[in-house]
Amino acid sequence: MRAYHHDGDNTADQRLPHEYTPFSPVTPEELGRLGVLYWRIEKRDDWLEQINAVAQERSYRNRDVIKVSKEAMGDVYESKLKTFYEEHLHEDEEIRYILDGSGYFDVRDEQDRWIRIALTTGDLLVLPAGIYHRFTLDSNNYIEAMRLFKDEPKWTPINRPADSNPFRLSYLQSVRTTV
């Protein structure tokens, strides 16, 4: 995982790294203050046991696997990518363990700037309910991820603006009390 401030350029290809100049890294602790959690679980023999331990600890009872690529998604590929890259929130945590490939999750910080989180195989990321975010493939155009859920999957992204959504309000409250 590599997290840094995004350059804010929305005109160039979203799949490019978009590193702010000068490069401005963001630590896991800073992500933690936004409610974003991160674990590194190497894809060695015991990776599934480690995922199961996190899932048990955090009550993630359901899971599935998604492959994002032209080959895997066919006709819906472009429209799915567009949906993933619209700024949105969810009323539940978004939990992704990267099984293969790579991609970028962008999250908003306290000043509403984008932080780009570059994920590769072995990264486990949890975005809290109510955080504004988006996802894009990088120039490798391929990611395979395990999606974990507390209960039944709540797929529906709620696009910004969603400032009076109760999950947004409670997210903001939780971030303020951690600062």
Ligand X SMILES: CSCCC(=O)/C(O)=C/O
Which of 39, 84, 142, 167 contacts ligand X by CB under 6 A? 84
Query: Is residue 145 a contact point for ligand X (CB under 6 A)?
Result: yes
Q: Where is 138: in which H helix or E strand?
A: none
For the CB of residue 101, give the shortest distance to ligand X in the complex, in Å.
9
Residue 94 annotated as lining a ligand binding site: yes
Q: Where is 5: in which H helix or E strand?
A: strand 2-5
C-alpha–C-alpha distance, residues 111 and 113, integer Å: 5
Which of 3, 81, 143, 162 contacts ligand X by CB under 6 A? 143
DSSP notation for 94-137: EEEEEEEEEEEEEEE-TTS-EEEEEEETTEEEEEPTT--EEEEE
Beta carbon nearer to ligand X, 35 or 103: 103
3-state secondary structure (DSSP) of residue 45? coil
Total of residues contacting Fe ion (CB under 5 A): 1
Q: C-alpha 35: how far from its chain's center?
A: 12
For the CB of residue 10, give the shortest distance to ligand X in the complex, in Å.
17
Q: Which of residues 88-107 bind Fe ion (CB under 5 A)?
A: 94
Query: Would you tell me which residues interact with ligand X (CB under 6 A)?
Result: 66, 68, 84, 94, 96, 103, 133, 135, 143, 145
Question: Which residues contribute to the annotated binding site for Fe(2+)?
Answer: 88, 90, 94, 133
